[in-house]
Amino acid sequence: MTLFGWGKKPPLTPAQQLQSGRWRCAKCSEEHGWPVDLAAHAPDPWRGDGQYEHNGALRYDGDFLSEDFCVLDGKYFMVRAVLRIPVKDVADDFGFGCWSTLSRENFDKYVHGFDNGEYPDWGPWSGWLCNQLADYVGDDPLAVWVEPRPERKRPLLWVMDDDHPLAIAQENGITAERVLELFAYYCSNPRTR
């Protein structure tokens, strides 16, 4: 007889659930294991149909959305980025694929260096987070630093206000249990092996 009864295994810890779980992707319908990130399809203010255009078709007038660039009303410029949060007791970070504004000048710099991954100014550039993340981000705009990266990697975002709960999470990490809560908020609980 074991501590948990005849042949029963002890329940998985949240960290074990993260590392052994599988999540069905809403985009490709396939299952993915850890590390798996959440991603926003478009900036929250986007009001178009959600279909991506090709990056090479970028337009500065009207509205435009591709996998990496967004323009609203020809005057608001956004890029897809990643907000990383360390996870305690787990090897990999949690990533939130989201969107940030950039000034027209910095947007132009980013677009110019996008294909070759070289930027004349590596920032960080200032921006505003354009997506909600569960209860971390409310209705008030959240200022972020946008850090471009080489090799077509999406820029990293860092919350400017050191006292904001999301900045504290980026600095100190979050628990695996908290990551599972975020996954449950946006999709589903993992199917464990």
Burial class (CB in 10 A: 0-12, 13-18, 19+), 37: middle
- Of the pLDDT bands very low, low, confident and very high (cuts 50, 70, 90), residue 5 is low
Phi, psi of 11 (to 5 degrees): -65, 150
pLDDT in tens, 103-145: 999 999 999 999 888 887 888 999 999 998 877 777 778 999 9
- Given a contact cutoff of 8 angstroms between Cβ atoms, the answer to whether 10 and 3 are in contact is yes
Report which secondary-structure segment, H or E, holds 184: helix 176-186
Sort residue 152 into left (φ over 0), alpha (ψ -120 to 50) or beta.
Answer: left
- pTM for the structure as a whole: 0.83
Contacts of 69 (CB under 8 A, 6+ apart): 55, 58, 77, 78, 79, 80, 107, 111
Omega of the bond prior to 11 within 30 degrees of 0, cis?
Answer: no
Rounded to 5°, the CA angle 158-34-40 comes to: 50
Give the E-state strand segments of the chain in sequence order: 21-24, 31-33, 38-39, 64-65, 69-72, 76-85, 94-102, 125-129, 142-147, 156-159, 191-192
DSSP 54: P
Phi, psi of 167 (to 5 degrees): -65, -40
pLDDT in tens, 144-174: 999 999 888 999 999 999 999 999 999 999 9
